[in-house]
């Protein structure tokens, strides 16, 4: 076990950002803390990193107190922040040399530059790097102390699909070498691809914690049917919602997503549309993904662009 959090509470005057939560992160895991904006996840991670003092509770990271033992702890953890500020007019090699000087036995940054495909950027100013290159540089700097625990915040925000996949594979490779990884992200496909365990927070509380497959299995949704309505006036929400097994109907513009737990739901919805002579297109049946589970747990009103009919 690399991280232990017991009864963590963080208050800002009258606002409780984190409300009496407890959880553990086992050694060798990729563990995600996710939730809507304002859920308390960033505050939780900052307490683990020793960047914020809890109102109450106990935290141990690698057997150390992140506040009292911060100097020693920082020899063993790497922190990648979503936005990192560097001195003006500093070159890639210079910032690597600077950060290496912070540690007793850092990894050779030249080796990391090569592995992260930044070797030809050594003499370039950091400000001239692309978004993906800056993200790779931030990971490089976090890896310098040979961390037992790596904390990553929104590592693929703003990256193109190819760069995102590269970062995912990089994180998996670092994990294979024995590093425990704690991440926050707003991308549910990222959670599905990377994480062994997921903790979902909302309004300062933990509302679910399990593997991705465990959360999908236990959410009470087993089928998902989608279609695009040609004429919105054709849809009778009341009758549609009364179909046996329908648990949730979501409408975003003219697209309908029907979630349920009845075998053969797609055939039932198809027959309903035919019987009611409803004009539709792009009827698709699939199993729920992790994003469906996340929205079911945190509430569809938190999902941008979604309107819950039920």
Among the three residues 165, 191, 216, which one is the final residue of a domain in this structure? 216
Same domain, residue pair 29 and 97: yes
Same domain, residue pair 15 and 125: yes
Same domain, residue pair 236 and 124: no
- Note the pLDDT of residue 246: 84
Among the three residues 200, 216, 232, which one is the final residue of a domain in this structure? 216
Question: What are the pLDDT digits (tens) for 14-68?
Answer: 899 999 999 999 999 999 999 998 899 999 999 999 999 999 999 999 999 999 9
- Note the pLDDT of residue 253: 77
CATH code (residue 254): 3.30.70.980
Same domain, residue pair 202 and 261: no
Average pLDDT over residues 76-85: 78
Same domain, residue pair 62 and 97: yes
Question: What are the pLDDT digits (tens) for 183-202?
Answer: 999 999 999 999 999 999 99
Same domain, residue pair 14 and 69: yes
Kindly tell me if the per-residue pLDDT of 280 is higher than 50. yes
Same domain, residue pair 17 and 59: yes
Question: What are the pLDDT digits (tens) for 251-261?
Answer: 777 888 888 88
- Note the pLDDT of residue 203: 93
Same domain, residue pair 302 and 159: no
Question: Can you give the pTM of this predicted structure?
Answer: 0.83
Same domain, residue pair 148 and 193: yes
Same domain, residue pair 79 and 147: yes
- Of the chain, the percentage scoring pLDDT greater than 90 comes to 54
Among the three residues 174, 198, 216, which one is the final residue of a domain in this structure? 216
Provide the number of structural domains found in the chain.
Answer: 2
Same domain, residue pair 55 and 201: yes
Secondary structure string (H, E, C) spanning the chain: CCEEEEEEEEEECCEEEEEEEEEEECCCCEEEEECCCCCCHHHHHHHHCCCCCCCEEEEEECCECCCCCHHHHCCCEEEECCCCCCCCCCEHHHHHHHHHCCCCCCCCHHHHHHHCCCHHHCCCEHHHCCHHHHHHHHHHHHHCCCCCEEEEECCCCCCCHHHHHHHHHHHHHHHHCCCEEEEECCCHHHHHHHCCEEEEEECCEEEEEECHHHHHHHCCCCEEEEEEECCHHHCCHHHHHCCCCEEEEEEECCEEEEEECCCCHHHHHHHHHHHCCCCEEEEEEECCCHHHHHHHHHCHHHCCCCEECC
CATH code (residue 138): 3.40.50.300
Same domain, residue pair 94 and 232: no
pLDDT confidence bin for 237, thresholds 50/70/90: low
Which residues constitute the domain of residue 89? 3-216
């Amino acid at each position: 076990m690399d991280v232990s959090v017991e009864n963590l509470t963080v208050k800002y005057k009258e606002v409780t950002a984190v409300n009496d939560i407890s959880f553990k992160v086992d050694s060798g895991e990729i563990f995600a803390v996710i939730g809507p904006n304002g859920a308390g996840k960033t505050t939780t991670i900052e307490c683990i990193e020793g960047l914020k003092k809890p109102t109450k509770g106990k935290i141990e990271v690698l057997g150390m107190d992140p506040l009292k033992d911060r100097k020693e702890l920082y020899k063993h953890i790497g922190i990648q922040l979503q936005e990192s500020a560097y001195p003006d007019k500093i070159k890639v090699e210079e910032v690597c040399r600077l950060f290496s000087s912070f540690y007793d036995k850092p990894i050779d940054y030249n080796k990391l530059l090569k592995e992260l495909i930044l070797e030809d950027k050594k003499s370039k100013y950091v400000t001239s790097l692309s978004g993906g290159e800056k993200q790779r540089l931030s990971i490089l700097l976090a890896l310098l102390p040979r961390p037992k625990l790596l904390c990553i915040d929104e590592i693929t925000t703003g990256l193109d699909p190819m760069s995102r996949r590269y970062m995912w594979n990089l994180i998996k490779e670092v994990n294979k070498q024995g590093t425990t990884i704690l991440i926050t992200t707003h991308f549910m496909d990222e959670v599905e691809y990377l994480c062994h365990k997921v903790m979902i927070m909302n309004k300062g509380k933990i509302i679910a914690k399990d593997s991705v497959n465990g959360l999908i299995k236990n959410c009470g949704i087993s089928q998902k049917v989608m279609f695009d309505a040609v004429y919105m006036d054709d849809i009778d929400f009341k009758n549609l919602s009364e179909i046996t097994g329908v648990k949730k109907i979501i409408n975003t513009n003219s697209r309908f997503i029907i979630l349920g737990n009845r075998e053969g739901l797609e055939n039932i919805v198809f027959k309903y549309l035919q019987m009611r002579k409803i004009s539709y297109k792009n009827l698709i049946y699939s199993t729920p993904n992790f994003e469906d589970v996340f929205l079911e747990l945190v509430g569809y009103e938190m999902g941008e662009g979604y309107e819950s009919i039920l």
